[in-house]
Structure 1
Amino acid sequence: MLRKSALRGYSIEGLREKLIATLYADDTTVYLNADDSFELLQTILDKWCLAAGARFNTKKTEIIPLGTAEFRTSLIESRQLKQGDAIFPDGIRIARDGEATRILGTWPGNNVGTVNAWTVVIDRVRNTLSKWSRKNPTLAGKSILARVIAGGHTQFLAATQGMPLQVEKRLDKAVLDFIWDGRKSHPINMDVLRRQREDGGLGLFHAAGRNDAQYLTWLGSYLKPAHERPLWCFIADRILLGAMTRTARTTARRAAPSHTGARDSPETYWARWPPNGTRRRLRGQ
């Protein structure tokens, strides 16, 4: 109903259909254009609920304003998408700048630092490792636990939002303290422990190494042909092009391959990075 409605949503170059909604299990995210009508959305949802015998939980409904700072402020103060439109019900929370909103385990928002989203995760890793430390596991056992706990608790958020360098260091420090029970003197170099067993190590978890593998997976998805690319790749095209200088953008238009499905593509520049700068650029630093 949403995709066939008069709601505009977002038209993204390279995509055949407008971006209007994404659904996962019982979690639904709707994307409204500044010219759309919240009242029309409510009418559509009411019809769907009537037909399906379901209902949306207004108390759990949250709005994340997109666009300029002026537009976001206006939306928050008026509680309207546009003048003359329906006012958002009182039970709906509108995220202000600096406030993150949880969506499927991620924390998007305006002017929200990703470091804040990681604080709870790192604390949980430290607390769990501390509990296991009291059981006095062997060095090999600690290596396995570090992979399961430090790696497992952080994999999803790292895959969806990336992990800042300072968080990487905090996570590796938590593993280091767990391995050596907080002692400052280490009889075996950590780089040695991070090697695979056949190379004399324990395969100890290393945040930077795991994250680099994830970023390369992102790159692989980004460089796929248009019909295989995930939705986020087409959005990334527009963001990257917007960050380019005028000269770089002109060069991209002339040299970009056509298989990505976008008229302008920054993909040309991935192949031009020198090897020693790849990790920094993959991380957007």
Structure 2
Amino acid sequence: MTTATAEAPSSGLETGAPRRGVLSKIVDRVGSGAVQVVMVLLGLFWLVPTLGLLVVSLRDTEVNTAEGWWTIFTKPSDLILSNYTDLLATGFTASFWNTVAITVPTTILVIGIAAMAAYAFAWMEFPGRDLGFLIVVGLLIVPIQIALIPIASFYGGLGIFGSIPGVVLFHVAFGLPFAIFLLRNFFVGIPASLLEAARMDGAPEWKIFVSVVFPLGKPAIASLGIFQFLWVWNDMLIALVFANAGNQPMTKALQSQMRQFGSNVDILSSGAFLSLIIPLVLFFAFQRYFVQGMMAGSVK
């Protein structure tokens, strides 16, 4: 007796493992070790300009004009430290401390105010909460340029135009919308059961914020702190408008030296490298929290 086997009609849907791209197959064949080596080489390649800036800052102007910075490997005797002593003699130290006086308070104020506001928008019920958050989101698209003249006139009436507090207040005002938006989206991902348990134990809202929300939000807060610090540290536009000659940060001090670029490249290079050191140290010090914040933001 013969049995006929009926072949099931094809439904047009493929089953089994999904097809993998050519790049994924190449990565599997090369191996993770080789990929890591490539990533390290790319990282070193991106550090080449920083190395060149360091070498230029440690050589005389005539040598930098005549030769490329890479010749230092055959002429290490060209390295000198007089460029940095000359830089400090130009009053650059005051500009450095002005930058610190602007950046540190701005970063602390933005983080503190934004964290409390983000907690309120995320976990507290009050009239107009959603409308207030929409206004904050809308402020993200407001360009800084349209506020320069009105704020300058306002500062003139208050008598703080050209002062460091005026620069700090401007940075805080325009840094808060993004900071509130970022932290609020992170705080929403905190399990509500933790907050409810704290409320059942009788903890007030400020205690819940300090003891529960703020520690859990450290990765996002650290990421925000790094971003805010870098934005203010490297800012030039606000410094050019609102800081006078006595309160100028490093960016404005270096910009004033650009008029004589051909004759003072040693001052510019050493000043640029000094302004680069602090952000690098800050990034590597909080790198662990920064990576955690970026990973958390990608899954929340």
Same topology, TM > 0.5 = no
The structure with the largest strand share of the pair is: 1
Higher relative contact order (CA 8 A, sep 6+): 2
| TM-score, scaled relative to structure 1 | 0.23
| TM-score, scaled relative to structure 2 | 0.22
The structure with the largest helix share of the pair is: 2
Largest Rg, 1 or 2: 2
